[in-house]
Structure formats: structure tokens, C-alpha cells
A and B are shown apart, each in its own frame.
Chain A
């Protein structure tokens, strides 16, 4: 029955080929349903394979099925062959199972996209590659899947390629992963050169026979780990993963949370026999794992983009799995990989549902109170949160607890530190995930709230408006003042004219003069009367202008004071622009128009299934008695070197309670900060954390700065030095002798023709001879 394994990758491959040929014709939603059917069928085949493997004796549960010889050269011989063992079957079950749910979800999520069928073409190709990665019975076939998923990840991150940022993120993911792939490739070379085979079973056999030296094992482990650092996003190569969120959300859930990013963990687990002999390489792995877990968790605390929180959370959780591998707890690593796939896929799909409902806004500061508006999304998301925050009996608690226990069990200061840092990470995880849930689903509905920028803009507009009014009033006052002064001067002039006229009248010597003086006196008196009459209105106008200018100035001062003294909305209350309310930008009104809605059933159904799995997933491997170690027992044939826990039952209980306490502390702290508003969020959301400790910026600056300068220097060196020498020689030869001067033009041409004619003559002569 394990022959059904052929169908597992074959069905998605057929789906891919069909969509390649007829995807556009199938269109929406048929293309999506076809792809979903392909992966769904693959899931059924995986179940069949599983049943088939159960039917075998425990010791026979490592079966290879060869399809054909792939690269046979000399001693190097690699087949396209599948290794069906408990490990690969566990992987294909959850990859196809979650894959089916996410395909289904995508039918709803990608509704209306111009490249709907292309999206599903990539998804099916991804599923095929991922299954080849998992099922490959040798390093090279795994590498085929490894690179295949990388290429699909590239296609899907830059799916909306017209945005420059998406294209850049896709390229960054591929190139960063290639750094890791270098490690994988060299590990393959090393395995072949020292063992003579790159088949997993051969490698296991060689290790079992002590035919692999410790230094080779260490080298292999470290090189494979370099590959794992790329795919499983460990420090320092993690930095492609947060950017990968540029892809459509189902892609983030499937590829960048549940499946592809776990392939580094899978591969390390696959070669656990080598790791067993790899000595200090295990410590390197454990420390990089726990370091990445803690590092990424601190960054997640300060992110406001709902998907960025989940992205850093994924990096952090992958760190846990790597830690588990480093301490030899392979079952715990796979256990956490599976539970993480459940709850992180759930959280990502939930966030996609929120983003979908919130008009593609990803800023959690604008969410709030969504549990009433999107009930299914909210309830399922909350289940995912409880699972990742380590609340028993949800799935994440059990698997995380097992990793912490295994770290503790390593013993010594090393084990204690690994455990302690893991515990700190657990607390941070509970904190940032609670922050996310509280900001998104609880509290007040904030979507229509103006945000800080918008309020600032409103105040700017408000104060500007008052200032404009005030300065206009001041101008009017100045004009009135001038008019008043003019009127006073005119009255004074008229008075002088009257006095002059009176003097003229008094000194008149004859009648003619007297009557003329009399006339001008009358004119002057009339003018004076008019001027005096104008005085009062001018003074009134001035008074009025002055009054309104001072009112306007006061209004401006009031506005500025109001801005200065504006009340800061108490935490949890609606921020308001106060007096400036009327000046808010239109974006606020536009958001107020929007009504969040629950997503269609294709999207909510997978959420419900995943939520169910996130609740009961822990049952895969319960710690209480040996009989409940289902996963551990199942994986036994594939994991010869699983670390056996020595700790006493009492220690286990104590550690479990400490872990629960840490989780509770994280949740309570987040509650106090984001729900009860007793603490200022700024205490935790440090800018340096928001910037990811500036690591990404530093790398980008280095690549764009010194890196680019170096590359440019080499290109310059090639164009000017290497080629310059050649041209220099040519030039000096040319100027050296008159005869050679023609080299540049005529000589070459005639020489070339000479060769041509000479060869033609040779050929003809030869042909004639042969004929004769």
C-alpha cells in the first residue's frame, strides 16, 4: 500500500501541468477547485501511504520506492526515489493536509485577482516541490525540492510584481536562501566524497558502522545547518522572511509559516544519525536556535503590521525547533513543527481574513473590537493565540514544553541557559501574541479613528485657518487705521483753509476781493463740515477693525493654545482632534464609511478546521505516560538517536508549571498594557525593536554601500585594467610600426579573406581527390 506514495507528489504535478496548459481557460473559480482537488487527492494518497506503513512491522518501516535513475555518473548514482518512513509520512500528512485547507482558503482570498489561475499553478508546483523535498531518499532529490520550493516562494512573494517592493522581497528571499543552499550543496559534496553515497539510508548505515569520522560528521552537520539557516530563517539569514510577507496571505500561511520554512528542521532531523556524531556542532545549532527565538520575539513586540508580528513570531518559533534539534530532541522538533503548522497557519489565515475584511489595511493600531464584527475569525484566532501562548491544553503548550524540558535535560550551565532563554522567549511570545489579539479583536473599534498623523494634519489645518483669519483682520485694521489718519489730516487741512479764508476776508480792500474771499470762505467751511462729518465713521471703522483684529488674534492664540494644551486621549479612549475635528483629512471619513465583514465560507471553513487541530494537536504526543507518546513512538524507526529524557517526574511537573507561569505573566502584562491601559505601550515598543535591532538596515546599507563599491570596482577593473592592457598593447603596437598600423582595419579584413579563400581551395582540392 505504500506504493500510493507515487501519487502524493504526482497529483500536484499533474495539477500544475494542467493549469500550465489550460489554466486561463479554466479561469476562476475552476482553476482553484482543480488545484485544491489535486492537493486533496494527494492528502488521501498520503493517508493511504500512512495506513500502508502502519501495516508493516515496526522494523520494516523504512521503504524506498525508486521511480527512475536520475543522475548516474561513475560512482555517483542518484535516483528519483522516495523514502517512505515514519518521518516522511508524518511530514507529507501535514503538508498535504494543511496544503488542502490553504488551497481552499485561497479560492476565497484570491477572488477577483487578474492572475487567479496562475496563483494556483504556483501553489500546486509548490506542493509538488515540497513533497519531493520531504520524500526524496537522497540529499540531491531533497535539494531539488528545496530549490523548487525556493523558486515558488520567489514567484509567489513577487506575485503582485508591479509593486517594486514585492519584487525586491522576492529576489531577496531567493538570493538569501542561495547562501544557505551553498551550505547544502557543499554538504552533499562532502557526503559523497567521504561516504561515497548521498542516500539517507547509506549515510545512516555508514554512521552506524563508524565509517564516518567525527570531523566529517561535524562538517556535514554545520554545512547542512547553513542550509537550514536559510530555509528555516535562522540568524543571520532570517532577514528574507519578514519581507516575504509581501506575498498574498495564503502564501505566508502555507509557505512562510507551515511548510517550506520547516524544511531546514526536517533535513536536520533526517540526518540525525550524523548529528549524533557531530559533537560541538549540536551546541552551535542549539545556541543559534535559542538566540534566534529570543531575538525575533523581541522584535515581534514592537511591530504594528499584523503580518509582521506573525512573521517574526514564525522566525522565533523556528528557533525553538532548531533548539530542539540542537539538544537532540528530534521528536519535540517535529512535534512542535506540526503543532506550529496548525496554529501558525491558523493565525496567518485569520490575519488574512482580518485584512480581507478591513479593506487591506494591515495596521493593528486601526483594528480593535473586531470580535463582534468577525466572530468566526475572532474565535478561531483566539484559539490560535492560546495555542501559541503556551496555555494548556492547547496544542502549542505541549510541544513547547517538551522542547524546554529537553533543553533543561541537557544539564549543566549550558542546559540551564538554553532552558532559561527559551523560557524568556515563551514569556515574550505570550506577551506579543496577546498584544496582537487585544489590539485586533478587543477594545474599541478603532478603524474610523483618526490616527496620530491625521490628527496632526487636522490641527495644522485648524491653526492655519485661524492664523489666516487673524492676519487678514490685522491687515484690515491697518487699512482702517490709515483711512482714519487720512480723515483726520483732511479735517485739519480744511480747518487751515477756513482760517486762511477768514484772514483773506478781513484784509479785503474792495468789494470784488471781499466777495471772492467770501465765496472761498464758504467753500472752505463746506469742506470742513464734510471732513468733520467723515471723521466719526472712520473712527468707528477703525474701532470695528481693531475689535475684529483682536478677536481674530485671540482666536488664533486660542487655536494655538488649544493645540498645545489639547487633551491626549486616555489610553483606550477614542483619540479626537477636538476643536480641529472639522479639519480631519478625507481618509478618516472614507474609513468610517467602511464596514468590516466576515469572510466567505471558503475562508472560514479552513479556519475552523485548523482551530480544531490547534486545540487537540497536543494529543499527538502527551507527556503523562509512555503510552501517550504516539508521535515519539511512531517516529522511533526514523530517529535512532533521539535524546532520552532523564529528568524525574517531579522536575517535569515543576518545569511545566514554571512555563505556564511565564506564559501567564506575558498574557497578564499585555492585558494590563493593551486592554486595561494601565501601562504605556511605549515602555515595550522601543524604536530599536521596531527596526529589528537595525540588523536588516545594516545589511542593506552594507550591500548598497561597500558591497556595491567592491562589485563596481571589479567591473571597473575589468573594463579598464584587464581590457586596458589589451587595448594598450594593441595601441602601442599600432603606433610602433607603419606596417602594423593597418591591423586595425584593412589587414584583418584581407587576412580573414585570405584564410577563407585558402581553406576553400584546400577543401575543393580535397573533394576532387576523394572523388578521384
Chain B
């Protein structure tokens, strides 16, 4: 099957590759459901195959993606109109904004399946995980508001059951909280979706749920746009989450099984931030510009507040959960900087956070399997007995802190520099989040890994080879994207630029906040005396 996909990819781009990204995991889930519960090994195998093939297909999408193209790619020429009368269509597409989220999803799910085995009932467990992937892919790929809403809601179900049935201590409470919070958040969004669809129909006579058509037409008034934006923003804010609607997250993350936490942090939070970019900025440019200062402030509050709350946590997993609030704050900040640097940084930071926090949840989960506790006070001195474990934790931690040379820095820096150009004071305050990130992570690291090792901690086994192999691709990417982010950035940027010009076109008195270019005018005067060698080398480099 994989062969056909690849073969088809080489020759015929109209092959419904994106549909496969959704259908393969969905069918996988169905297949698992059909296999008798007694055949435990088969469930895991099917789950691995389904997520693995989806992952391979997502890589293929990355390969055929044309980096200079700023529109939606791999989009069927003739979108399947699903219900003609209702204007709902099966229209999928990928652009620079969604590309890496699709790849991240394809990358993380097989690892999540491999990384942890459920303690009981493998059959429904794997079925839910694989189904979850279908939903997540759907959100990232669909260009139809109706399907977007359906997928956006679908993902709640598997995660609800994963937390509620395979979670830790307080799992029922956490699962219900997660479900109700996000469901109430998106209830208004449905009203919002219907409003703009009908407003569009009133104005054009054309009933459609197609995002591109709706966004280009902008057939609603300023006020309506702002109100509907708010309804979307509420749904996305819960999902991200943005202060003050974030309190479901620490509970859900902490109580979820390891794979659930990895996926929740790795891709599901991005449904919110992706939603802001694709449906917030694209559909409602005027409202996005109008609300940008508020959103930047909320992002900054999230950065500082999440970091402070993280510092005081006694449960290691809860600490990582709160760190997500802070990290996602950077993404919100960069998104509403509304310039190239900020937006590209946001998209990259979505992937970075998926890698580093996903890896952290793996490590914390494995630590829990060994020590049966996540209480920081009960751990200590682990670097002595588990040096490889500690080294892996250190690298991921430094990525999370935003150490230059690792992926986290590039994204964080770009969001901040974009935000600074848009609003220097807010960005300067937000930048202090880097101090707090060092504080809570290094303090936690000291208490868990440094100091004398005593009692049960002295018997903790080091990282297993199989665990190391799961972690290795994440660690490699953490370093690679920090050292050489260019291939990623240059694929993201054209779509981001297109989004910004879209906003500029539809908001007449607004221009992208950009840096002053005083050197551009003077470069020639001074270029000669010092730049000769640099230019030569530069040329060589580009020639390759």
C-alpha cells in the first residue's frame, strides 16, 4: 500500500494523498475494532501499521511539497461536493502553515504507539489513539468549515476515553473537565460558522462552507466579523489554552496516560493555535488586527503566569503541563504580531513544542513506570544511577528553555522579535519568560537528578535501548532544527507572507509591522571595504 502511495506520488499529484492521511488511520481504528479482543498483539501491530503508514505518507507530502508555492497544495482540482444543497465539500489542502503540523502528527503518533503499552484493555486503547490521528489530520487538512468543525469535535472523543479509562488517579474528573471545557468552548463557534456562511449566502447567493471562498469574499461587516471572530477565538483559546481558560490542561495532562499526554501536548494544543492562523487571521483579517493587542497581552500573561505556576508545582508532570501554558503563550504572541517573523516563528514553535514537550512527557512517563511516583520531592540524585536518561532529559530541557543551537530557541526568538517590531514593550515583558523558564526547569532538574541518590531512587534503571530509539529521532530533530532551520523556515514563509498580504488587502489602513531598514540604503557605501570575502563565500554556499 505504501508502495502505491509513493509510486502515485512520483507521477500523479492529483492522487488523493491527503485523503489517505485521514482515511488510513480511520480504517486502522475500524480494523482494530473488528479484531477480537483476545488477540492482543494484533491490535498494537495494526495500530503501528496504520500510524506508521500515515507517517510515511506525511513524509511523502513533505517531499513533494513545493516550497515556493504559497497556496494550498495537493488540493484536488474538483473538490468532492458532498452535499450540494448545503455547500459542504470534501476539500483538503496543505500549505506552509499546515505542512509541518501534518508531518509532526504523522511523526508523533507511531512513537506514541511504540513508546508506551497500556496497562489494560489494549484493543480500545489502540483504536482510540489511531482514530484520534484521523481527527487531528482532518483538522489540519480540511478547507471546509463544516468538516473542520466535525473534526475539531471528533478529536475530543478518543482523548476523553484515553484519559478517562487509561489515566492516573483523578482521571474521571480530568476527563470530564477536558471534555466539557472544550465542548462549551466550541459550542459558540458552531453558531459563528453558521452566521458567516449565511451572511455569505445573503451577500453572494452562494451557500458554501469553503474556507477559501469565504475568506476571499469577506462578505460580512466589520462588527459581524469581530463578533464571529470572538466565537472562534473562544473555542481556540480553550484549546491552546490561553489564560484564563487553561485550567483543564494541568489536570488533563497530568492524569492522561503517557501516550495521551504526548499527543495532547504534541499536536492537540496546536489545533487551537493552528485555528487562530487558519480560521482567525485568514477568515477575519480585520478582527484579527483589531484584537491583536489584546491577544498579544494574553499571550504574554500566559508566558509569565504559566512559568510562575510551573515553578511551584510539586508534581513533575504537572510542571511540564504548566510549562506548556507558557510555551503556547509565545505562539499566541507571535501569531498576533502579524508579521513574517512572528508568524513563521509561531508555526515553527508549534512543531518545537510538540517535539520537546512530547519528549519530556515520554521521559516523565518512563520515570513514572520505574519509580511509581511523579512527586519531585520523592525523586533525587537520578543522574548518578541513570546518566543516559539524565543526558536525554537535559537536552530536551535545554530545548525547552530555548538554548540557541536547539530548535526551541529559533521559534521563540522569531516570535519575540516579530512581537517586538509590532509592540516593543509587550515583547520586552514577554522576553522575561526566558528567565523563568530556566528557573523552573533547572530547579526541577536539580531536585530530580542532582544531589545524593537514596532509597528506591538508587535502584532506578537507566534508559532502555528501545526507549532510546524512540527518543533518538526527536533528539536529532531538536538539534537539527536548531542548527539548520532554513529548510523548514523557507517552506513556511511563502504561505505566511500570503496570509499577511491577504490581511493587508482586506484591511486597507493596516500595514504589516516591519523593522526599519536603515542599512539597506547604505549597504553599498560600506559593503566594499569589508564584505568582499563574505560575499564570495556566501556565493559559494548558495551555489551548492
Which residues of chain A have a CB within 8 Å of any CB of chain B?
Answer: 2, 59-60, 62-76, 79, 81, 137, 140, 143-144, 146-148, 151, 154, 158, 161-164, 166-168, 170-171, 174-175, 178-179, 181-182, 185-186, 188-190, 192-197, 201-202, 204-206, 208-209, 211-212, 711-712, 714-715, 718, 722-723, 726, 730, 743-745, 748-749, 751-753, 755-756, 759, 762-763, 766-767, 769-770
Contacts and interface: CB of A to CB of B under 8 A. Distances in A.
A680 to B, nearest CB: 41
Given A171-B446, A197-B519, A205-B519, A72 B486 contact: yes
Given A193-B424, A714-B305, A755-B156, A76 B515 contact: yes
The size class of the interface chain B forms with chain A is 35 or more
A162 B442 CA distance: 15
A71 B410 contact: yes
A206 B340 contact: no
Interface stretch (B105-113, B267-275, B280-288, B307-315): B307-315
Nearest to B178: A748
Given A148-B405, A726-B181, A182 B515 contact: no
14 contacts: A60-B530, A63-B530, A63-B533, A71-B414, A75-B515, A76-B340, A164-B450, A164-B451, A190-B420, A193-B420, A196-B517, A211-B518, A212-B518, A730-B180
Nearest first, the 7 closest Cβ-Cβ pairs linking A and B are A74-B340, A64-B534, A167-B450, A189-B420, A715-B312, A144-B404, A196-B517
Contact of A71 (B26, B452, B485, B523): B485
B416 interface: yes
A96 B409 CA distance: 27
Contacts of A185: 413, 416, 431, 434
A140 B533 contact: no
Given A76-B417, A730-B180, A752-B179, A770 B26 contact: no
Contact of B515 (A63, A196, A712, A714): A196
A758 to B, nearest CB: 9
Contacts of B442: 154, 171, 174-175
B522 interface: yes
A290 B282 CA distance: 55
Most buried by B among A196, A718, A762: A718
Nearest to A61: B530
B523 A205 contact: yes
A191 B97 CA distance: 28
B344 A73 contact: yes
B432 interface: yes
A205 B525 contact: yes
Most buried by B among A72, A205, A722, A753: A205
Contacts of B330: none
A40 B446 CA distance: 34
A364 B164 CA distance: 63
Contacts of B486: 68-72
Contacts of A181: 434-435
B308 A186 contact: no
Contacts of B450: 158, 161-162, 164, 166-167
Contacts, number: 260
Given A193-B421, A752-B179, A763-B26, A171 B515 contact: no
Nearest to B383: A161
Given A73-B340, A193-B421, A140 B404 contact: yes
Contacts of B154: 755-756, 759
A64 B533 contact: yes
Interface string B427-446: 11001101100110011011
B489 A744 contact: no
B363 interface: no
Given A59-B529, A206-B519, 9 more contacts: A60-B529, A73-B344, A73-B489, A189-B431, A193-B424, A196-B517, A752-B157, A756-B154, A756-B157
Given A171-B446, A190-B420, A201-B531, A770 B90 contact: yes
Contacts of A208: 526
Contacts of A759: 150, 153-154, 157
Nearest to B172: A745
A68 B489 CA distance: 14
A161 B246 CA distance: 36
B373 interface: no
Given A182-B431, A209-B522, A755-B153, A64 B531 contact: yes
Given A63-B534, A711-B312, A755 B383 contact: no
Contacts of B381: 162
Nearest to B500: A74
B177 to A, nearest CB: 8
